[in-house]
Amino acid sequence: MWNPLLYTLSGLIVGALVALTGVGGGSVMTPLLVLAFGQSPALAVGTDLMFSASTKLVATAAYGFNRRVDWRIVARLLLGSAPAAGGVILWFWLHHGSEGAVDRVITRCLAVVLALAAVALLFHDPLRRLGLKFTVSSLRGAERYQVALTVMAGALLGFGVSMTSVGAGALGIVALAALYPLRLPADRLVATDIAHALPITAIAAVGHAGLGHVDLSILACLLLGSIPGVLLASRAAIRLPPQLTRTLIAIMLAVVSARLFIT
């Protein structure tokens, strides 16, 4: 049933969640569109990608102006993510017309990526400590391994984001924190992750839009709610401990993943 107020409220909640925690855009919005609103997985992914690309454009411009983005790391990630995203969109085009099969593949991939995001959030701190230990103990050879691992991480993110719209936040943040624990402090970590997410979400969003996987009415309602959600949350005085928020979000993602596995 079409209810603009519910879509706007969903955008408000997700926008506030992203502003408070840095995670939750695709991880929450896509499952919400599928499970709560009954949208097809393909339409949910395409609409959320367009929603994410719109919000990340503004954020990237702001971070870039403040010189918080590490563009060299963004370029390394794109070496893997851009071809992977293009490959996924090509697969969608080749299977255009087989919506039932496409939706089943998206649902299964979404469940897997959400489960991986939950695990990544739970082990965020141990992975960062492991990356720090590796970087410090092998400083000379670390750069060589970092490049290869960054390209591989980019490929996984490109696949996940293009197929499910999930991964740019939760998985991207954890991967960069583990690979660059010294080079990327908290503010540059988030800025670099968002700057990398912009082109791959844009590529995927355009591809899905061309396939008719974007509902502009839903998109408008989500954006209408998310903007005040971000503004209100960013001004909130209360901040939960990062470890607690990551744990709560991880539990939520694990529950949603299990729900998708049994659908």
What pLDDT was estimated at residue 150? 92
DSSP 3-state assignment of 241? coil
| Alpha carbons 107 and 177: distance in angstroms, whole number | 28
Burial bucket for residue 239 (CB in 10 Å: 0-12, 13-18, 19+): exposed
40-51 pLDDT, tens digit each: 999 999 998 998
Nearest Cα neighbor of 49 from 30, 28, 70, 32 is: 30
What pLDDT was estimated at residue 136? 57
Flag residues of the chain having pLDDT under 70: 1-2, 19-25, 131, 134-144, 233-240, 242, 263
Q: Could you tell me if 9 and 168 are in contact, meaning their C-beta atoms sit under 8 angstroms apart?
A: no
What pLDDT was estimated at residue 175? 86
The contacts of residue 143 (CB under 8 Å, 6+ apart) are none
The contacts of residue 136 (CB under 8 Å, 6+ apart) are 182
What pLDDT was estimated at residue 22? 59
| Alpha carbons 238 and 195: distance in angstroms, whole number | 27
What pLDDT was estimated at residue 138? 53
Structural domain for 92, as ranges: 4-261
What pLDDT was estimated at residue 233? 66
What pLDDT was estimated at residue 74? 94
Q: How many domains does the chain have?
A: 1
Q: Is the pTM above the cut of 0.95?
A: no
Give the single-character DSSP code of 32. Answer: I
What pLDDT was estimated at residue 78? 95
Interaxial angle between packed helices 4-21 and 41-65, expressed in degrees from 0 to 180 and rounded to the nearest 10: 40
Q: Which residue has the tokens 């583990």?
A: 178
